[in-house]
Structure 1
Amino acid sequence: MTPTPMTTSQERAATYGEVFANREFRVLFGSFALLVAGDQVKIMALSALVYARTGSPGLSAATYMLGFLPFIVGGTFLLSLADRIRPRTMMIIGELVRLVTCLLLAFAGLPVWAMLVLILVTGLFSPVFMAARSALLPELLPGDAFVLARSVLSMTAAGSQIGGLALSGGILVAAGPAGALSVTAALSAVAAVVLRFGLPDFPARGVGEGGAVRETLRVNRSLLADARVRGLLLAQWLPVSLVTGAEAMLVPYLGDTAGIALASASAGLALGNFVVGRFAPPHARERLALPLAVLAGVPLLGFAFQPGLAGAALIALLATAGTAYQLGLQRRFVEAVPEEVRGQSFGLASAGTMTGQAVGAALVGGASELSSPHMAVVLAGVAIIGCSLALYRHLRPAAEALPTLGG
């Protein structure tokens, strides 16, 4: 397998106006906005439903985190489907699976254990559906426009975290858990229609060799064996996972006021992506990847002084703004992976990020048990700085990286 270079349009800075001028991207963006809004409502409604059935806050919280787990299995065994099935078909299947799942949760009267199993089983395919969407972007928007498209989707996801909680709360109060799940089902139905009639039926990128599981394992091994791809994956996974781990400490550190700091963290994510995407030209964006990754950890050191709510919110905003370093890796990642397995490559990157966030939260949480929440955040900041510096060869553009033995 050999990577396919992107077109020379990557040298010219794109604009958000050019990105949204692309009709197919508007369709992808609209369906993605419906997806993230629906998922926010779904997970809050499911948590409320489990709590109403069991009275257990612990089980309700575990339900909220359940979305991370399927990415480990789905990302390991099923990702080749993202390249073997037509992208539009795969995305529509994803919306229909979400629709049926929500209706079953709302009206089938399932016991709690069956509800959790249903979420886990259907969630196994989530990384495949996400990969199909992500892999289309460089085909629709080559060069720098692709990077800005990625930043738009990141900002949309961050905005959903800010507005989604309020939206979910309002729907839950007005319609109850079953009604809220019905809203998600309706949003999925709309998204499926938008995709069916708004997106061309692009062909599948590859046919694969053998079964989907065997092909996924083979390609994952091939990608991870490539030093360049492996380094770019680790650079996408590690710093941002530790930032998420630090965010997980805001609730035990701030208590009832943590929601303000968490909203500030989401705002920082959106702000960082907008500023770096809008004002940094392509070459500068790639050179900024290393300093931004390091700077994502530096503000967290301020928790050593045990800041109040305002200080913690500002630190969270600055730290998550630094995660815009990922924009400087996107073009190089597309160039590094073979086109025929681009869907699986993007799926592996996303699955690793989701899994890493869960692991990061667990590690920082474990550190808080041995020390305290604020010192665990400080340790996360030190770890972010350390791993970013250790990955400097992959966070810097190739022309600036120092040669190393073994490639």
Structure 2
Amino acid sequence: MGAMRARRPPGRHRRAETARVTYREVIAVKEFRALWFGQGLSLLGDQLAQVALAVLVYDRTGSALATAAVYALTYLPSIVGGPLLAGLADRFARRGVMLTCDMLRAALVAVMAVPGMPFWALCALVFLVVLLSAPFSAARAALLPEVLGGDAYVMGSALQNMTNQAVQMIGFAAGGAVIAGIGPYRALAIDAATFLASALILVSGVRRRPATAHDGAKPSMWTMTKAGAQLVFGSRKLRTLVLFAWLCGFYILPEGLAAPYASTFAGEAMPTAVITGLLMAAMPTGTVIGAFLFSRFVTPERRLRLMGWMAMLSCAPLIVAAVRPPLVVVLAAWVLSGIGGAYQLAANAAFVQAVPAERRGQAFGLVQSGLMAVQGVGILVGGFAAERFGPEPVVALAGVGGVTCAAVLALAWTDSRRRTARVHAEATA
């Protein structure tokens, strides 16, 4: 779709509902470009900051548990922030929520960049920064279906996911080398600047929209949280999709152990910080590949059929860690795991279609909070276990547990789709 003519974006065009949409058509939508660029830029800073924090904490403490605990702080605040703060994306204008969160996070990360910041203060600031990501992510997730609809939403989500994973790959892979040159505190300062840049992009590229309309007085945050939980967990189909999303708690665990895992390759010629970055970049690299192939060459219906198999692929390669393979094999296994993680595209698209537009913010926020919580808890438990048994057996056990859960979910999803098809056939008979 040409960008020079005044046409409706793919999300509002009939073609999006009847034919496959191309990446070019999606990129032609100005608001999507703003959401896309802003997210990618701030994420690049975040990945640099995560490597900086991992290196900084491990250098200070030499403890796998302490490193995993700080890394887990990038997930755990969503236990609170998701259910209670995500409703802000339905209560207030979504662009305004995103801008406010960007500005506050920029200020908090700037304080983190002050050299000599006490360890406890650093942890508190990390907690607050991630807490603010809950309403931001909910607002962005709820806004995207308003910008893109139909298969355009799937293609836009795939493009955004590929970009995010590519940014993570670049940020993690280059992060070790960059931090070796500029130091962890300057890396945090760069992260603060990316939040400001994201806010400027949103102001210039995303139009204002009114807050989601509510009948009568606006409900309280607790009422919205309760209603969102009933919506998400009251449907068998939505419950299954949510559990598919939360499965990443297993295959994301190795990233939290990247620094201590890198230390096991002491014989390698590369510095430990560089190996840490390569390990953290492996899964995002696989996800870029998987998301491109899954969205570009697989039809929407087939994506749903393959979702269970892809979910199992996201965890199975991790089992190879049990035999303590060389670095190149570990990297290849983690890349393959990332390819399997592309199943999240199908789960996300199915979830969007099943949730009313005016309740997407709260619904996405609840799912996101659980998503971050299971990852944070998994990483924390993994760090605790790695202190005693080493990172290799812990990663292998995560793979075994993930494959088992993915197989159960695949069976439940197949049964759910058969029930839906049977009901549809009976209704049209």
The TM-score with structure 1 as length reference comes to 0.85
Name whichever of 33-42 and 168-177 sits farther off.
168-177
Alpha-carbon distance in structure 1 between the residues aligned to 2:187 and 2:356:
41
Structure 1 residues 92 and 402, CA, compared in 2 at 3 Å: closer, same or farther?
closer
- Asked whether the equivalents of residues 282 and 331 of structure 2 are also in contact (C-alpha less than 8 Å), the reply is yes
| Percent of paired sites with the same residue | 34
Structure 1 residues 360 and 173, CA, compared in 2 at 3 Å: closer, same or farther?
closer
In structure 2, the residue matched to 1:310 is 328
- What's the CA shift for 1:325? 1.1
Query: Which of the residues 14, 20, 25 maps onto 2:21?
Result: 14
- What's the CA shift for 1:228? 2.2
- Asked whether the equivalents of residues 289 and 327 of structure 1 are also in contact (C-alpha less than 8 Å), the reply is no
Query: Which of the residues 211, 230, 234 maps onto 2:239?
Result: 230
In structure 1, the residue matched to 2:228 is 219
Deviations 1:263-315 (A, max 9, x none): 32221111111110111121111211111112223333434444222222222
Quick one: which amino acid aligns to residue 244 of structure 1? I
Query: Which of the residues 242, 246, 262 maps onto 2:250?
Result: 242
Query: Which of the residues 62, 70, 81 maps onto 2:77?
Result: 70
Structure 1 runs not aligned, ≥5 long? 1-5
Residue 145 of structure 2 corresponds to residue 138 of structure 1? yes
Partner of 2:314: helix, strand, or coil?
Answer: helix
Pairing of 1:325-364 with structure 2 (within 5 A):
325-364=343-382
| Matched positions, count | 397
Residue 291 of structure 2 corresponds to residue 273 of structure 1? yes
Structure 1 residues 395 and 10, CA, compared in 2 at 3 Å: closer, same or farther?
farther
- What's the CA shift for 1:160? 2.4
Pairing of 1:70-149 with structure 2 (within 5 A):
70-107=77-114, 111-149=118-156
Partner of 2:318: helix, strand, or coil?
Answer: helix
Partner of 2:187: helix, strand, or coil?
Answer: helix
- Asked whether the equivalents of residues 287 and 328 of structure 1 are also in contact (C-alpha less than 8 Å), the reply is no
- Asked whether the equivalents of residues 20 and 26 of structure 1 are also in contact (C-alpha less than 8 Å), the reply is yes
In structure 2, the residue matched to 1:150 is 157
- What's the CA shift for 1:363? 4.5
In structure 1, the residue matched to 2:272 is none
Quick one: which amino acid aligns to residue 361 of structure 1? I
Name whichever of 168-177 and 283-292 sits farther off.
168-177
- Asked whether the equivalents of residues 84 and 205 of structure 1 are also in contact (C-alpha less than 8 Å), the reply is yes
- What's the CA shift for 1:202? 1.9
Structure 1 residues 217 and 300, CA, compared in 2 at 3 Å: closer, same or farther?
same
- What's the CA shift for 1:258? 5.3
Partner of 2:77: helix, strand, or coil?
Answer: helix
In structure 1, the residue matched to 2:61 is 56
Structure 1 residues 365 and 399, CA, compared in 2 at 3 Å: closer, same or farther?
same
RMSD: 3.2
In structure 1, the residue matched to 2:427 is none
Alpha-carbon distance in structure 1 between the residues aligned to 2:255 and 2:179:
25
Structure 2 runs not aligned, ≥5 long? 1-12, 266-274, 423-429
Structure 1 residues 135 and 394, CA, compared in 2 at 3 Å: closer, same or farther?
farther
Structure 1 residues 251 and 396, CA, compared in 2 at 3 Å: closer, same or farther?
farther
- What's the CA shift for 1:201? 0.7
Quick one: which amino acid aligns to residue 227 of structure 2? R
Alpha-carbon distance in structure 2 between the residues aligned to 1:181 and 1:248:
19
Alpha-carbon distance in structure 2 between the residues aligned to 1:374 and 1:181:
30
In structure 2, the residue matched to 1:3 is none
Alpha-carbon distance in structure 1 between the residues aligned to 2:54 and 2:389:
30
Structure 1 residues 399 and 40, CA, compared in 2 at 3 Å: closer, same or farther?
closer
Structure 1 residues 109 and 97, CA, compared in 2 at 3 Å: closer, same or farther?
farther
Query: Which of the residues 219, 224, 231 maps onto 1:210?
Result: 219
